Amino acid sequence: MTPTLVISHPACLDHRPGPGHPESPERLRAVLAALRSPQFAALAWRDAPLGTLEQVHLIHDPAFVDEVAGIAPRQGFIPLDGGDTVMSPGSWEAVMRCVGAACAGVDAVLGGQARNVFCATRPCGHHAEPARAMGFCIFNQAAIAAAYAHEMHQLARVAVVDFDVHHGNGTQAAFYNRPELFYASSHQSPLYPGTGFAAETGVSHNIVNVPLPRGCGSGTFRERIQAEMLPALREFEPELLIISAGFDAHRLDPLAGLNLEDADFAWITRELMQIAEAACRGRIVSILEGGYSLEGLATGTMAHVRELMWE
């Protein structure tokens, strides 16, 4: 068994939202360069397959999916939500590679091919709601992966934990009335998209939100995660853990105001791995979400993946 598998694809570089857009191809280039450095020589790599419409429909309304497919441009740019979320000629393949990577990651860990998986893909996905693209996100690959594990692999309980600085409103919306799917998020509040209050708990307390104040650093972050998120995740006892791994809570990030360090991303990764080891034989699929300082994104990803590789 491969300890840690990275799934990526060059097509994810061809989603180009336009000059000056924070969600640029340079983000993924920074991540890939970091993970190709000698200290990560033990990683295994695999190209992401194309996702299928059947997989996308596990979360997203078919009419919405048809609309996105129909307006994907042959040239130029098409805005999907007033300008934040933009499609270019390469965007359709990029998002379908994101979906394919996430579902292939589920297959790999549940099939015993890898202990855990990191999907180095873009664009991010956790803001995409069942019938709406928003916040740089077109399809929600983390939510799709969870539904795929439940529907196709017959898992009774699947969890998504999200430490991106922004609340994953799309994942919460998709899971809110599905007690077999658990979503926990730590995020700055108030901040875009304006959701993720602690009172939003889902149909069976399967939603756990940990809103953090602007300026929050390591101490408060770790205390709140230990007190509010991790006990609920343990109680849920997931058969598979999916991580929405955003690194825009890093102190260097220009789009938000939390002050986390690389060590905090390593810490939460270790904590999640311990729970996964006890609940589901260590089976984790981690999926890249946000992070808009290239330095913070690269070093945060390195800290995260270094822990995933730990035997």
176 class by beta-carbon count within 10 Å (0-12 exposed, 13-18 middle, 19+ buried) = middle
Catalytic residue among 9, 60, 126, 127: 127
In which region does residue 75 sit, left (phi positive, over 0), alpha (psi from -120 to 50) or beta (all else)? beta
3-state percent helix, strand, coil for the chain, nearest multiple of 5: 40, 20, 40
Catalytic (active site) residue 127: yes
User: CB-side exposure of 120: number of CA atoms within 13 Å?
Assistant: 31
DSSP E strand boundaries for 163-261: 181-188, 207-212, 240-245
- The answer to whether the CB of 186 falls within 8 A of the CB of 163 is yes
Whether the ω angle into residue 22 lies within 30 degrees of 0, i.e. cis, is no
Question: How far is it, in rounded angstroms, from Cα 176 to Cα 207?
Answer: 7
- By annotation, the residues acting in catalysis are 127
